[in-house]
Chain A
Amino acid sequence: MRQSRAARLGLMLLQLLLALIVLLPFFWMVSVSLKPPTEPFAIPARLWPDDPTIDNYVTAFRPEFRTYFLNSLVVSLSTVVITVTLGLLAAYSFTRAQLAAISALVGLVVLAQMFPHSAIIIPIYKMMRGANLLNTYWSLILAYVSVTLPVAIWMLRGFLLKLPAALEESAAIDGAGPLRVFWDIVVPLSRPGLIATAVYVLIVTWQEFLFALSFTSTKEMRTLPVGLNDFIGQYGIRYGELMASSVMVSLPVMAVFFFLQRYFVAGITAGAVKG
């Protein structure tokens, strides 16, 4: 597989181009966020401000932002815990139970992944209203768990299918019941799969917009994406502040992703590549 020097150079240039395409918007986002708020925007746009300042970050980190952040954290983490737990239980039974209905049920799980959220949102909204859950954490957590669960089950199922059966069998022979086997063997062994699924659910819920936009209405309950959109306001957009907020919204999930990237990549591809 040796490539000629020229080909290698060409590929390196392509890589550079790729990095540029991906990074330029990020660079611009940071650049705008560092522009002094009092300085008008230049035409043509300047790539980097003359006197970068963190003023926009100070303004953007207002009490509302902190509330939104906390709300996003509560809703996302709750969803992650509940989805991963329910998903693992279901995936375990989907892969271990000898039930006639299993393949039909798996089919229903796969089908549910396809449902357009916008198409089912009105009945869900009415249910939430009926249950008096609108504008509460629960309306979002319930919705998020439901829409992430099919994918989570699918990912975890792919994972559990690959676990060696020998360990579970020998434990069963030693007299351990299915619950014991599940707790002592399956859970520890599925750790990478659980992490991958958790990261996936976190990425999805951290940025969810449509449900949050429709189900919450006060600034006390807004999550970050919707709160960010609110900053656009009735008539104006203050881009400097908005970009500073954007950076702050993106950093946590990026940090998590970079620490757990290995697991995530393995998990998301296991389902697609081998599923």
Chain B
Amino acid sequence: MRQDRRLHWLLLAPALVLMAVMLYYPMLGTVYESLHETSFLNPDPKFAGLALYRRVLADGTFAQVLANSVVWTLGVVLLQNVLGFLTALLLNQNLPMQGALRAVVLLPFILPGVVAAILWRFMYDPQLGLVNSLLLQAGLIENSVAWLADSRMAMASVVVAAVWKGFPFSMLIYLAALQNVDRSQIEAAMLDGAGPVRRLIDVTLPAIRDVVVVNIVLTLILTFNYFDIIWVLTKGGPQSATHIFPTKIYETGFGQFRFGEAATYGVFSILVLAVLVALYAIVQGGANRRRAAA
């Protein structure tokens, strides 16, 4: 038994060591870096205390990056899950062609993020892109819309591109959950005369509640950390209108070689993500308690 124990530690060791060195240590390293200033002219880290935190907070873009990150994350998570769920419902109906369609719908998910972004960048091109051409020809807009260049429109546009790429993943998980729902319960509800909407609310949703929770937390984390789409589409522009934490960190760290400030943004991003997940857990917990009490 003791030997078994040693063996198991041995089997765990490579994974645990790697995660400790490459994930947990850098987590602490980011805090260390955020307390030190570097630049190209002075590459040797110099202790700066909390000066970089003060500098980042005093800079107007911080508030914007924070707000953008929240809008981006909530927007994508919400739309992606609603669309993913509705698609899963649709593809769970025993209609003709569903097998093929299920495979087709997954295509955007497999498409590399950079490719998806390059593709959407061209789709959104004000003059040459497909989006404006179709909308103009359909008479839905009168003039070309600068989807990515107008600071009021840019965030919504990158969200749409990200949702297009991401919703199949949510769909996949919802579909699997729907297929696990006990048919007899649905049939019982039908016998009671419940319509499709009632059946959805009374039977299906409660049955897949845990999956919804997992799905939302998963997309929340993935979206908050997603760099590719925004970087290729707008580099965080115009005027920082789409700068989120990952793009700002990359720009500051690897564009301007200010590792200290980039790490400070990194520490804030970890905190913000933790707050978002915690908030969701609280809301979710509250809902559970209400349900238990009811």
Q: In the complex, A153→B118 CA distance in Å?
A: 32
Q: In the complex, A165→B183 CA distance in Å?
A: 29
| Total number of B residues with any Cβ neighbor in A under 8 Å | 95
Report chain A residues within 8 Å CB of B85. Answer: none
Does the CB pair B112–A207 fall under 8 Å? yes
Query: A28-B119, A118-B227, A210-B250 in contact; A113/B266 too (CB < 8 A)?
Result: no
Does the CB pair B95–A12 fall under 8 Å? yes
* A-contact 0/1 string along B1-17, CB 8 Å cutoff: 10011011101101110
Chain B nearest CB from A71 CB (Å) reads: 14
Q: In the complex, A214→B106 CA distance in Å?
A: 29
Is B164's CB within 8 Å of the partner chain A?
A: yes
Does the CB pair B22–A143 fall under 8 Å? yes
Q: In the complex, A29→B221 CA distance in Å?
A: 29
Pick out which of these stretches binds chain B: A59-67, A190-198, A265-273: A265-273
Pick out which of these stretches binds chain A: B125-133, B145-153, B283-291: B125-133
* B-contact 0/1 string along A219-244, CB 8 Å cutoff: 00000111011001000000100110
Does the CB pair B29–A92 fall under 8 Å? no
Does the CB pair B19–A146 fall under 8 Å? yes
Does the CB pair A15–B101 fall under 8 Å? yes
Chain B, range 133-190, C-beta contacts under 8 Å to A: 133, 136-137, 164, 168, 172-173, 176-177, 180, 190
Chain B, range 202-240, C-beta contacts under 8 Å to A: 211, 214-215, 218, 221, 224-225, 227-228, 231-232
Does the CB pair A269–B90 fall under 8 Å? no
Q: Which among A3, A11, A206 is the interface contact of B90 at CB below 8 angstroms?
A: A11
Does the CB pair A117–B164 fall under 8 Å? no
Does the CB pair B115–A228 fall under 8 Å? yes
Q: Which among A93, A99, A118 is the interface contact of B249 at CB below 8 angstroms?
A: A118
Is B33's CB within 8 Å of the partner chain A?
A: yes
* B-contact 0/1 string along A171-208, CB 8 Å cutoff: 00000001100000000000000000000000100110
Does the CB pair B7–A179 fall under 8 Å? yes
Chain A nearest CB from B118 CB (Å) reads: 6
Chain B nearest CB from A162 CB (Å) reads: 14
Q: In the complex, A143→B106 CA distance in Å?
A: 27
Does the CB pair A149–B15 fall under 8 Å? yes
Specify the main secondary structure of chain B where it touches its partner.
helix
* B-contact 0/1 string along A121-142, CB 8 Å cutoff: 1111111000000000000001
Size category, A interface: 35 or more
Does the CB pair B110–A250 fall under 8 Å? yes
Chain A, range 82-134, C-beta contacts under 8 Å to B: 86-87, 89-90, 92-94, 96-99, 105, 108-109, 112-127
Query: A25-B119, A29-B119, A97-B8 in contact; A86/B18 too (CB < 8 A)?
Result: yes
Number of A-B contacts (CB under 8 A): 272
Chain B, range 86-111, C-beta contacts under 8 Å to A: 87, 90-91, 93-98, 101, 103-111
Is B30's CB within 8 Å of the partner chain A?
A: yes
Specify the main secondary structure of chain A where it touches its partner.
helix
Is B27's CB within 8 Å of the partner chain A?
A: yes
Q: Which among A26, A99, A112, A243 is the interface contact of B5 at CB below 8 angstroms?
A: A99
Report chain A residues within 8 Å CB of B113. Answer: 207, 209, 225
Report chain B residues within 8 Å CB of A3. Answer: 93
Does the CB pair B269–A119 fall under 8 Å? yes
Is A22's CB within 8 Å of the partner chain B?
A: yes
Q: In the complex, A158→B33 CA distance in Å?
A: 37
In the complex formed, the residue of B with least CB distance to A8 is: B95
Report chain B residues within 8 Å CB of A26. Answer: 107
Is B50's CB within 8 Å of the partner chain A?
A: no
Chain B nearest CB from A222 CB (Å) reads: 12
Chain A, range 241-275, C-beta contacts under 8 Å to B: 242-243, 246, 249-250, 253-254, 257-258, 261, 265, 268-269, 272-273, 275
Report chain A residues within 8 Å CB of B94. Answer: 1
Q: In the complex, A12→B257 CA distance in Å?
A: 54
Q: In the complex, A18→B29 CA distance in Å?
A: 45
Q: Which among B87, B115, B231 is the interface contact of A249 at CB below 8 angstroms?
A: B115
Chain A nearest CB from B32 CB (Å) reads: 8
Supplied contacts A24-B130, A124-B26, 7 more A-B pairs, CB within 8 Å: A19-B104, A28-B130, A117-B227, A146-B21, A150-B19, A209-B227, A242-B118
| 23 interchain pairs, CB-CB under 8 A | A21-B164, A23-B107, A28-B130, A29-B119, A45-B129, A90-B11, A92-B11, A93-B11, A114-B277, A116-B273, A119-B249, A123-B263, A127-B26, A179-B7, A207-B114, A207-B228, A209-B231, A224-B112, A250-B115, A253-B110, A254-B111, A257-B110, A272-B176
The 3 closest A-B pairs by CB, nearest first: A123-B29, A207-B112, A269-B176
